[in-house]
Amino acid sequence: MVRTRQKKAPLTLNLLNGLVTVASVTLCALALPLQLPGMDLAGVGPHWLLAWVVTWSIKRDMLQGLFGGIAAGFLQDSLTASQPTHVIGLALVGLIIGRINKKRLIAEEFVSVALIVFGMAAFVEVILALQWSWVSDRPLLAIWERLPQTALSSAILSSLWTPVVYYPLNLWWDRVQALSKSD
């Protein structure tokens, strides 16, 4: 009878971990349109899904980071316009962070993660601006003139708010990993 409980514990833990992961990415997606006082800079808010993709990818390999970015990108596209798509930028972020993590170059600290999110937020905004250049009828100069302000605002706010996503998820995934190894 004890063996039955031990066999069920990892399955239960995996299901609970999946539920926490899906709930966390859903909350990040739902937080995107929120414009609370102090969470807005030049009309741009924090990129919660980017913070989630970075947090997810730090603990995963390249392929898992890529799929996490794709899922988050499709989720964001379903809540906003799909042109330009957010999938490309978030997928590349997941892939890059997973690749860097494979080489163990990332120190998992608040400051390191916040700096990574800062750089990746600017990167994602450049990817979106490139897409706007291709699919939009807006003048190219108007798109690229607004890019520095948008990218900097997104990078600052996203990196400042990243610990809200990173700390609880990192703590959870560390505990799940410790519990999985003990069984």
Phi, psi dihedral angles at 46 (to 5 degrees): -65, 145
Cis peptide before 33 (omega within 30 of 0): no
> Has residue 129 got a pLDDT over 90?
no
Q: Angle 180-17-63 (CA atoms, 0-180°, nearest 5)?
A: 85
Q: Where are the domains of the chain?
A: 2-182
Q: What is the pTM of this model?
A: 0.85
pLDDT digits (tens, 9 = 90+) for 141-181: 777 787 788 888 889 999 999 999 999 999 998 898 888 87
Q: What is the pLDDT of residue 23?
A: 95
pLDDT digits (tens, 9 = 90+) for 43-72: 778 889 999 999 999 888 899 999 999 999
In angstroms, how far is CA 134 from the centroid of its own chain? 25
CATH topology of domain 2-182: Arp2/3 complex 21 kDa subunit ARPC3 (1.10.1760)
